[in-house]
Structure 1
Amino acid sequence: MDPHLLRTFLAVAETGSFSAAAEQLRYTQSAVSQQIAALEADLRTPLLTRRPVALTPAGERLRGHASILLVRLAAARADVTRAVAPPGRLIVALTPLAWHPALADALALLRTESARLTARLRLAERDQVVAAVATGEADLGLVDGFTAPSDPLRLPDTGGARAIGVAESPAVVAVAASHPLARRRRVDLSDLADAYWIDAPAVAAHTRLPVDGLRPGLRYDGQDVTVLAGLAAAGHGLAVLPEPLVTTHPSLTGVPISAPRLVHRVELVRIPAHLTGGEPAARLAALIEHR
């Protein structure tokens, strides 16, 4: 099966529309239709109904395989590229709130060990970080999120990447120091359903919290943690943030959360099979895990 045809098929399956898939892929709608027809001819079975657009039973089965096949193809290409990469190359993808002192300390130690180290840090959203590690675009990843104590984060299945927890810290509701909530000793998130929240999907999405009904008062589409903290400090809305971050901001107060029980968790994402003892990524992973 041609991977280009599989990508087109997934785009149609995910958008539910030939025209939307064409726009996403920057193809013409007729080109998308021709590619789907070619894939169906190759497999000798219909994969999609046309009016309305929906997956057939065969299409449902193919959808389960297609994303994994494309990830593995990208991983194979990246693995070959990695074999001829310059010595000392290290690419770490991370979510904005996943930056951790252990990473800074480990990078500093690596620099003292190798003058050839060329490190690059890349900010991305959580699913993008996992995908970058799975496909080899990044050597390691650090992701974060809010979860129950000791519970792992819910990450997308990529077929190869594995995650291990490296840090947990208390989660608090960040409010302006002048906000009435700042005087509360503890707060139940379900009691704040009528409050205004800052929706910051790339940093700390309120929609990922295990509480229904929290409504956004402002949406921030950037990845700068300082901007998010500044918006909360200026009274534009509430945000759940790691306690260590809030305590460093002079105009923010962190209110402990009584329910649900939440911690801010940071996990290291890697592909064990790709980490040999001599690679910078393997050394960095070991330093972070055994900090």
Structure 2
Amino acid sequence: MKPSGNQQLWLGDANANSYRSLSGHLRLAPERRNNSTSPKLKVDFNQSTGVAVMHMQNPPVNSLSLGFLTEFCIAVEKLEMDKSCRGLILTSSQPKVFSAGLDIMDMYGKSPEHCAEFWRAVQEMWLKLYSSNMVTIAAINGSSPAGGCLMSLTCDYRIMADNPRYSIGLNETQLGIVAPFWFKDTMINTVGHRTTEMALELGLLYSSSDALKIGLVDQLVPEDQVLATATKTVTKWLAIPDHARQITKSMMRKPTIDKLTSNREADIQFFVNFITKDSIQKSLGMYLEMLKKRKS
């Protein structure tokens, strides 16, 4: 028997060295070692509405570390398996940030085996969200660079806080990293080829208003209304018969999903070969040192 009313699912342990996103720039945050009882996700599931709200709470900036991604994928899979869960709202419990993206410390100074495991987890996060049968709404209540932007792009609809201090975009080239083809394809599917080409080559981060103009987000609302607006929005989407919406979503997204699923191992190997190059490791190391000096 399934419990009624609101449920809270606590999922954790994701040790993470994180970086902070402030005014569109990535900045290394102090190392934080969280114990195994510290939750990194809180999921509130309302049985009566069939909608779950997933709060990312991996301080300080919801960096996507290997541990966090593992817990995240488990949480999404559990919701997906519960047929009474029809909608998912993804948001942040951390102030001023949705997610600062992939944890640099899972890419710097790590073994090829660790890098491969990390990248497989990034792939899995994208696959689970992009192919989800649930209605997925990104309630973007802070900055969302790089992997945070990718996470929001997987959702069916994006609502962002109307705050000029917040930014969003795939800015990997600024760190000397290349966004893989499935990052690129996801953005092309959202904003078109030319806009994506400019954004990826220049590593652009867009203000909330500019993100709305190019279609990177679908709606801007006052910061204190992001979650409430997402709740109203998911209700409208759920008014559509599930089977019709799900089949249509699959039809639209299947070519992009198939492209990764048929090339997962090659994509992992490409990432490992790239990220473990001495030149790339040196670049990441210099970047981290620069950020540490800025902080001191």
TM-score bracket for the superposition, by shorter chain length: under 0.3
Normalized per residue, which structure has more helix? Answer: 2
- Output the TM-score relative to the length of structure 2: 0.26
Q: Which has the higher contact order (CA 8 A, sep 6+)?
A: 1
Normalized per residue, which structure has more strand? Answer: 1
- Output the TM-score relative to the length of structure 1: 0.26
